[in-house]
Amino acid sequence: MVLLTPLIVMAPPFPTAFHTFFPFIVGKALYARTLTEIALGLWLVLSLRYPAYRMPRSRLLLVFGVYIVVTFAAALAGVSAQRSLWSTYERMIGFVDLAHWFAYAVVVASVFRSWADWRALLNVNLVVSVVMGLLGLSQHFDLGILAYLETGKRLDITLGNPTYVGGYMLVNVLIALGFLGRSYLGAPRPDVMPTRRRRRARSRRAAGRGEGFSGLEFAIFWVAAALLSVFILDRVRSAYADGRTGLTLAAIAFAAEASVFVVSYVFFQRQREWTWRIFWTATVLLDVWILYLSGTRGALMALGVAIIAFSVGYLLWGRQRLLKQLSIALVATVVALTVIVVLTRNTAPFQRLADSSFMLFRIATFDPGGESVGGRIISIKVGLQGFAARPLLGWGPENFAILHDRYITAEMVAHSTVSFDQAHNKPIEELATKGILGFAAYAAIWLYMLRIIVRRARDQGAQDQVFTMLVGAALAAYFVQNLFLFDTPGTIVQLMLLVGFVAYLETAGQAESDISHGPLEAGPALIYLRSSASFALALAAMAALVVAAILLINYPPFHGTTAVLDTLKRPGITLEQRLEIFDDAIGAFPPQANYLRIVMYNQLISNWRSFSEPEARAALAMADKEGQEAIAAEPQEWRLYLPLSTVFHLGSALDSSYVARARALVERATRLAPDRIEVNLHLVRLRIFEKDYGRAQESLDSYLERNPRAAPQFEGLQREIDRLTDQ
């Protein structure tokens, strides 16, 4: 069920009570957390009673555990332990979530101890990717199946961002290729029909009547079925504007095809392998198509790197001559395509192709100095500066935004106005936020996985070898993709699944030789552990702990974000009702309340003119109280200072003492992020508000000298200063 995480979106068709801020992120994280806690509790009881399911003797999991410990130390030593532990509603990938994913990897590696187990689990993951792909096609063809699947130039489907889609599909393409390659390198299935029945079948085929399907006939059947599905989808798109009708017809079409698949799998025993081959082939084609439609250049590059990594590995250690020849061809193809694209992307023919493909358009318009690439280069430079300032344990997980805005210069802002809360480069993120210790532990995980894959691939037979190498290629692809991105609740499940499989590779020898699914052997000291009473007690204790965890760390943030969303959906509510909702939401889960406080400040600012004096004083009191708690929790987060200072500016008409407090907040923000455009705009507004027009002009001129490109953002303030000065 955890593998369904990428499909979770807290928006319609879920009831309104389940809608949250950042619906593509919050629901996924809380869903995965909850199921992981349940699985962990059940596994602890299982491993107590059945030793075969205890944690395997895996050095990979040990190294991963060291990384978790270092991450926790970095969180406590960072500039905001609260943010490091819990992250924000926008990301939901702090230490607490990372610890849950580590627990998930441990449980998966402990319970799935044979190839049959992993074959089933990884195929379920492929099925989820197919569902994701079909939803992507519905978005591409604008079928109106789900409200949030809005048609655009790129697909984001249920992940909320096209780059996440590219990373997710990337892993599944390579896993499906692994299954497909493995199926062709296995020993042929023996013919289990009795001799007399074989003779009868041959005579019937000779007479033209036949019996069952041949592999080729089966393949043709499924290709025809797939084409029929695409045709139906296109007819639905063109003939029905009503999303409900489109959903019904599409569901009927796919349910019918799925039913035929199941029936054929059950009744045509001899064709099962062909059925799976067609499924894996369809998965590869669909997922590559969706990756392409996502327009994610990093994912396309990572796919090319994965193909080269597999090919080089197979040339070194592969056992099949034909595959070695294919590997040479693959490397040559990737290199040739890369050279062709580089040489022709500025030509007229390529530009014409780019007009009909957004992926090609993004390749054709690639600019190292552009906003996207330039922002990433700047984040690398700033991240290295942050690492130099705190080299041992860094600034703390999830605190990259603080160091980014501390060290970014006006010249850098002129090239990229985006404020990065993640480095968009995982190694730099680890260096900057966890220091050299965290980076070393993170690198150790990847290096040890590489060692396991290489060692196992050298020893395995041709069938297992190709799958292991393609899993290694999937890991390489994920790593390369994360040189331009970061982990998210929708994509990290793919990494943890691969980590679990590599742990299985590491321990497969000892696991399959001595695994026993029976209960503990009887013994004087263990009799009680075998009893029904101890089993019931363990289940009850774990159930209580899991329920407590859900109620204490999962439900409160969910309640907080759904409650605040209610203030936006009910614009007619009174200020007293609004403040009560905010007080309830903020108090529900203080560790993640600062985002909700910023939402509250912005709502107070936008509605201030409608407040009576008693309401304005109540709003000021609420903002003051929550502001003190927010700054105490994250004193170096400048985004908390600016909206609070605006509220204080507005409130100074009631109490002049708020002027000085507003000024102190702006000056503090200026020290924390001296070259951010937003901070300098606010500083100029402060000078104008205080009628110090000379200093306002001085602040404006000083910033524009450092960042001339920001002149358009300051034009309105310049006119305001000129008008007030003339008066």
Query: Are 596 and 561 contacting, i.e. CB atoms less than 8 angstroms apart?
Result: yes
Sign of CA dihedral 279, 480, 35, 48: positive
User: Higher-confidence residue: 371 or 29?
Assistant: 29
**Range scoring the smallest mean pLDDT among 126-130, 385-389, 533-537, 595-599:** 533-537
Q: How far is CA 159 from CA 156, 477, 478, 479, 558, in A?
A: 6, 19, 16, 19, 18
Residue-level pLDDT at 529: 64
Residue-level pLDDT at 332: 95
When mean pLDDT is compared over 73-82, 225-234, 262-271, the highest value belongs to 73-82
pLDDT band at residue 239 under the 50/70/90 scheme: low
Residues in CB range of 207: below 8 A, 6 or more apart: none
> What distance in Å separates the CA atoms of residue 12 and residue 1, rounded to the nearest whole number?
20
| 169 has a pLDDT exceeding 70 | yes
> What distance in Å separates the CA atoms of residue 704 and residue 711, rounded to the nearest whole number?
6
When mean pLDDT is compared over 121-125, 238-242, 362-366, the highest value belongs to 121-125
Query: Are 386 and 401 contacting, i.e. CB atoms less than 8 angstroms apart?
Result: no
| 220 has a pLDDT exceeding 70 | no
Q: Kindly state the percentage of the chain with pLDDT values over 70.
A: 84
Residue type at 525 in one-letter notation: A
Residue-level pLDDT at 468: 96
pLDDT band at residue 185 under the 50/70/90 scheme: confident
| 417 has a pLDDT exceeding 80 | no
The candidate with the shortest Cα–Cα distance to 423, out of 413, 433, 415, 414, is: 433
The mean per-residue pLDDT over the stretch 634-642 comes to 94
Query: Are 386 and 434 contacting, i.e. CB atoms less than 8 angstroms apart?
Result: no
Q: Report the greatest alpha carbon distance in the chain.
A: 109
| 122 has a pLDDT exceeding 90 | yes
Residue-level pLDDT at 513: 43
The mean per-residue pLDDT over the stretch 301-321 comes to 95
The mean per-residue pLDDT over the stretch 31-42 comes to 95
Cis peptide before 13 (omega within 30 of 0): yes
User: Higher-confidence residue: 215 or 564?
Assistant: 564
> What distance in Å separates the CA atoms of residue 472 and residue 370, rounded to the nearest whole number?
33
Residue-level pLDDT at 252: 61
The mean per-residue pLDDT over the stretch 609-619 comes to 93
| 641 has a pLDDT exceeding 60 | yes
pLDDT band at residue 367 under the 50/70/90 scheme: confident
How many other β-carbons are positioned within 10 Å of the β-carbon of residue 568? 10
Residue-level pLDDT at 192: 37
The mean per-residue pLDDT over the stretch 395-410 comes to 93
The mean per-residue pLDDT over the stretch 507-515 comes to 58
The mean per-residue pLDDT over the stretch 473-495 comes to 96
Residue-level pLDDT at 248: 58
> What distance in Å separates the CA atoms of residue 648 and residue 17, rounded to the nearest whole number?
33
The mean per-residue pLDDT over the stretch 310-321 comes to 94
| 223 has a pLDDT exceeding 60 | no
pLDDT band at residue 117 under the 50/70/90 scheme: very high
**Range scoring the smallest mean pLDDT among 117-131, 258-272, 384-398, 441-455:** 258-272
Residue-level pLDDT at 334: 94
**Range scoring the smallest mean pLDDT among 76-80, 198-202, 368-372, 645-649:** 198-202
Residue-level pLDDT at 97: 96
The rounded Cα 550 to chain-centroid distance in angstroms is 22
pTM over 0.85: yes
> What distance in Å separates the CA atoms of residue 514 and residue 320, rounded to the nearest whole number?
31
**Range scoring the smallest mean pLDDT among 77-81, 478-482, 523-527, 646-650:** 523-527
Q: What average pLDDT does the chain have?
A: 86
| 163 has a pLDDT exceeding 80 | yes
**Range scoring the smallest mean pLDDT among 81-90, 193-202, 549-558:** 193-202
Residue-level pLDDT at 510: 57
Q: Kindly state the percentage of the chain with pLDDT values over 90.
A: 64
The rounded Cα 567 to chain-centroid distance in angstroms is 28
Residue-level pLDDT at 231: 56
Residue-level pLDDT at 547: 93
| 191 has a pLDDT exceeding 70 | no
**Range scoring the smallest mean pLDDT among 243-247, 372-376, 530-534, 688-692:** 243-247
Q: How far is CA 224 from CA 134, 218, 230, 236, 246, in A?
A: 17, 10, 10, 18, 22
Q: What is the dihedral of CA 669, 670, 673, 679, to 10 degrees?
A: 80
**Range scoring the smallest mean pLDDT among 347-351, 522-526, 586-590:** 522-526
The mean per-residue pLDDT over the stretch 132-152 comes to 87
Q: How far is CA 585 from CA 106, 305, 420, 561, in A?
A: 34, 46, 27, 7
